[in-house]
Chain A
């Protein structure tokens, strides 16, 4: 039985979502900005062509965007999540097994299917576009890493591939020569530059390396990547990722602030979000870190620092994590600065069975797991933030700035599209 995996990836996903409900911007460059309208996080093809770089701060390239009449949007995560759900639902019709890899990517297992994969990939692409209006690219290969590669090439050479590339039936060699080492799934920027120093520029160069050397200098993960590129599956579908080593919640303030009280609210709200994420992966954190910083793009006194506390016992209890976070913030805070951003990080994460109990700990410290579960399930059903800690503040003047936000077209009755009839 031929093993085949498809990676389906939405093209310029956020920009495509904005276009779906706004036909007037079909031919204009479209860009989407990160939280607080800071940096460019998504670009349509036209926006790439006029040279708007990914991740650049918007204010630095605004003149280019204005000159070309680009349509600019704040991130509308409610809309993107709903469209993502629709795309994933359509994809689920095409394979018995599927792994949602990110908001705009999914792996589908095509194992045992007896068909022309290129034809099947085109059918997937056509159906997703018809049903949801989102253009996708499809890469098909014998391993996940090769499927990623195929997808990348399908996108890059769209005029030849039509957005679909199947590598299962042919020699992958010529394709690997076209795959830049920096674009290989599992090879980060640090390894990529290390490899380039050794003359390894493409995936084709990489697979000629000695397996032992790769294992010793790039760990077992590097070896898995190598074997996968050679067509030997090492990463299975839905391979549950190990618990995250660190969980971070951090956001820029909507406006600069020098108020300790506002920052305490922000830190408290980030701490509770972190704790929620921690509980969702059934982890317990042993270390809490808080960091704060001023706006490095502005000419004003600059200050940035972070501070960590190791907890007497690993915990997933929100009040405990909030208490430590606020205490850390108070020690970090300096008067006379205007702050732009702060964040909370949980690390030293262990799972329940690796939990080291502290014999001398007051019972009150541990808190009630039942309470946490109740809060989490209420927030899951009635929407995030239904129940929150008073220390997070109610008005949240430090909240996110999203001045260019499009309507919640698919999730709010008052925001649905109006159509001339």
Chain B
């Protein structure tokens, strides 16, 4: 049996023409007026397509890191989590997004909102880093 392949996760219609002209003032030179290339957001946002997943955030514990409820996170599992990385973690059977912190051999999941308390990981059995958050997509409309 050969598998049926679906095309890669693609941001549809994400090819924006890149103009090389700069317009500080006055008229653009007609000679510069050609399309050089197209920009694909996938190139910019997705380093490892096979390892990249999208998830949506609910809750406000990370607003200080610019992650708001309803935002979409681009999670790259190929990245190695380090102290300071924002990660999607599994804690006691549930997903959560927090900043990972390793201090003096202790592991913490830190919220970025004073209304929430840091979580110290004391029992490793229910804890796992699922992936590292690489980008946040926040819609301003």
Residues of A within 8 A of B (CB): 23-24, 26, 78, 81-82, 84-90, 100, 102-103, 130-133, 409-411, 413, 416-421
Contact = CB atoms under 8 A, between A and B. Distances in A.
Contacts of A130: 51, 77-78
A130 B51 CA distance: 8
B72 interface: yes
Contacts of B88: 419
B3 A103 contact: yes
Nearest to A130: B77
Given A24-B94, A131-B48, A410-B53, A421 B61 contact: yes
A100 B3 contact: yes
Nearest to A416: B54
Contact of A81 (B5, B58, B59, B78): B5
B97 interface: yes
Contacts of A89: 49-50
B130 to A, nearest CB: 8
Contacts of B53: 409-410, 416-417
Contacts of B1: 102-103
A419 B58 contact: yes
Given A89-B49, A131-B48, A133-B77, A420 B6 contact: no
Contacts of B61: 420-421
Contacts of B100: none
Contacts of B22: none
A421 B3 contact: no
B34 to A, nearest CB: 29
Contacts of B55: 416-419
A228 B1 CA distance: 22
The 5 closest A-B pairs by CB, nearest first: A131-B51, A89-B50, A24-B93, A103-B3, A23-B90
Contact of A132 (B51, B57, B60): B51
A132 B57 CA distance: 20
B96 interface: yes
Most buried by A among B49, B50, B53, B90: B50
Contacts of A24: 93-94
Contacts of B90: 23, 26
B19 interface: no
Contacts of A90: 50-51
A132 B96 contact: no
B60 A26 contact: no
Given A85-B5, A411-B6, A23 B60 contact: no
Contact of B94 (A23, A88, A409): A23
A421 B9 contact: no
B57 A419 contact: yes
Contacts of A413: 54
Contact of A419 (B6, B49, B96, B128): B96
A100 B62 contact: no
Given A23-B93, A23-B95, A416 B58 contact: no
B106 interface: no
B128 to A, nearest CB: 8
B67 to A, nearest CB: 6
Contacts of B95: 23, 417-420
A78 B5 CA distance: 9
A88 B3 CA distance: 10
Contacts of A88: 3
B2 interface: yes
Nearest to B49: A89
16 contacts: A24-B94, A82-B6, A85-B3, A90-B50, A100-B3, A102-B2, A130-B78, A131-B77, A132-B77, A416-B72, A417-B95, A418-B58, A419-B96, A420-B57, A420-B95, A421-B59
B60 A421 contact: yes
Contacts of B57: 418-421
A132 B94 contact: no
Interface string B33-71: 000000000000000111101111111111000010100
Contacts of B73: 419
Contacts of B69: 421
Contact of B50 (A81, A132, A416, A421): A132
A211 B20 CA distance: 71
B123 interface: no
Interface in B65-124: 67, 69, 72-73, 77-78, 88, 90, 93-98
Nearest to A77: B4
A85 B6 contact: yes
A418 B95 CA distance: 8
Contacts of A420: 57-59, 61, 94-97
Contacts of B4: 81
Given A23-B90, A421-B67, A86 B51 contact: yes
B50 A131 contact: yes
Nearest to B78: A131
B60 to A, nearest CB: 7
Most buried by B among A26, A86, A421: A421
Given A133-B77, A411-B6, A419 B56 contact: yes
